[in-house]
Amino acid sequence: MNLHEYQAKELFQRGGIAIAPGIVCVTPAEVRAAAEKIGGAVMVKAQVHSGGRGKAGGVKFAPDAAAAEEKSRPIFKLSIQGLPVRKVLVTQAVDIGSETYAAILVDRAIRKPILMISAAGGVDIEDTAHTNPDAIKKIPIDPVLGLMPYQARAVVVDLGMKGKQALAMGDMLVKLWWVFKENDASLAEINPLVVTKQGDVLALDAKVSIDDSALFRHEDLEAMRDTADETAGSILARERGLSYVPLEGDIGCIVNGAGLAMTTMDLVKHYGGEPANFLDIGGSSNPEKVVAALQIITGDSTVKAILFNIFGGITRCDDVARGILTALDRLKIGVPLVIRLTGTNEELAREILAERGLTATTSMDEGVKAVIAAAKGGSR
Ligand code: GDP
Ligand code: MN
């Protein structure tokens, strides 16, 4: 789960990392009031789950409150990488002396967290990573000991920092480690980490991603989730514990198990169809999951036909059949439904489906061919 800059900065602040004071706003009038409160020159910064906001015109300097209000108007109208700007962060503007890039993330190859740091910080760090990868230093972190203060100091001295600034920046990197660790982050990034003209060390930007698998033990972070850019289907899928990946095609696929999901995608493509999604109801046996799955898929207007592909093991075919009938009662399913099921309790499932005049095939090939024909406007 990605956090917005203002949320990440809240974690920074709790962890003792210095940031410029800021206020989140949703209208130009609020921006003006916020800028007045902060006083002096400010930055107006789009809050979207995307990097490169500066280059997209989403980060603007304003010398005073009136200018801040005016500069915010076009920002509120922006979409950055398809994400509409709904909030901006107004922060005190600082005089930048130097920009450093610093991030802590997990290096899968060495199976450890690492500190990545570069004196070439700022908006062009991605280019640097390609053109001059040696300019980015990588320091492995022992996950038990954490980033040691001597490691942090050594690397900033290596980057050319001196005296008080080297100490302050080293200290900040150690704090960044604790923010990363305590919040079960998969990424904690500061770009730019600046030394101001006055000599202060500040995190001017903040990017934190939380490991989804750890969110259950961070209620405060879960509460920061911004669902504004999520579809209703994605939200429902997450709430019900279904793996749901929307794709480009028109055949809705409801299956049990990720392996079967991939096999189904392959077979749909093999016979000339295009899957509209990957939806895995998982290994459990719960008719309500089937109802939720159908609710998600019928909410996608690009779906022209739906395939159930169920291999009953722990998942019982009769439970799936009951779920389908419940869904038919509750939802308007305006597209053809093709059912393939085999395995645990399949006879019972067929009896249940027959109550509504539904049939199910046992052959995966047959089911897939039938759903492709149905999507093309053929037989029901
Ligand atoms: P990003 O483009 O999404 O990474 O957004 P950033 O928050 O990093 O802002 C982009 C750039 O704007 C930074 O790299 C800085 O160069 C500049 N910037 C941000 N805040 C300030 C500020 O307070 N003063 C000055 N002079 N520049 C700033
Ligand atoms: Mn940045």
219-232 b/e with 16+ CB inside 10 Å = b? Answer: eebeebbbeeeeee
Q: Of all atoms in ligand 1, which is nearest to the CA of residue 56?
A: 2
Q: Is the CB of 59 under 6 A from ligand 1?
A: yes
Q: What are phi and psi of 98, to 5 degrees?
A: -145, 155
Tens-place pLDDT, residues 76-111: 999 998 899 999 999 999 999 999 999 999 999 999
The alpha carbon of 181 and the centre of ligand 1 are apart by a number of angstroms equal to: 26
Q: Is the CB of 207 under 6 A from ligand 1?
A: no
Minimal-distance CA residue to ligand 1 atom 19? 204
Residue of 302, 362, 298 whose CA lies nearest to 324 = 298
Please work out, in degrees rounded to the nearest 5, the angle formed at the alpha carbon of residue 344 by the alpha carbons of 339 and 345.
75
Residue 380 has pLDDT above 70, yes or no: no
Tens-place pLDDT, residues 298-328: 999 999 999 999 999 999 999 999 999 999 9
Upstream peptide bond of 63 is cis (omega within 30 degrees of 0): no
Active site members: 101, 189
Single-letter amino acid code for the residue at 234: S
Q: Is the CB of 166 under 6 A from ligand 1?
A: no
* 129 vs 34: which has the higher pLDDT: 34
If you average pLDDT over residues 246-253, what whole number do you get?
Answer: 95
Q: Is the CB of 43 under 6 A from ligand 1?
A: yes
Minimal-distance CA residue to ligand 1 atom 6? 205
Give me the pLDDT at residue 378, please: 53
Minimal-distance CA residue to ligand 1 atom 8? 205
Portion of the chain with pLDDT greater than 70, in percent: 99
Q: Can you give the pTM of this predicted structure? A: 0.82
Instruction: Enumerate residues with CB within 5 Å of ligand 2 (an ion).
Output: 191, 205
Residue 33 has pLDDT above 60, yes or no: yes
Q: What are phi and psi of 250, to 5 degrees?
A: -125, 10
Residue 379 has pLDDT above 50, yes or no: no
The alpha carbon of 140 and the centre of ligand 1 are apart by a number of angstroms equal to: 28
- The residues facing 114 across adjacent strands are 105, 140
Instruction: DSSP for 244-289, please give it.
Output: EEE-SSSEEEEESSHHHHHHHHHHHHHTT--BSEEEE--SS--HHH
If you average pLDDT over residues 6-17, what whole number do you get?
Answer: 98
Q: Which two tokens stand for residue 306?
A: 């739906």
The alpha carbon of 5 and the centre of ligand 2 are apart by a number of angstroms equal to: 9
Q: Is the CB of 125 under 6 A from ligand 1?
A: no
The alpha carbon of 379 and the centre of ligand 2 are apart by a number of angstroms equal to: 54
Residue of 18, 72, 21 whose CA lies nearest to 45 = 72
The alpha carbon of 124 and the centre of ligand 2 are apart by a number of angstroms equal to: 9
Tens-place pLDDT, residues 134-178: 889 999 999 999 999 999 999 999 999 999 999 999 999 999 999
Residue 357 has pLDDT above 60, yes or no: yes
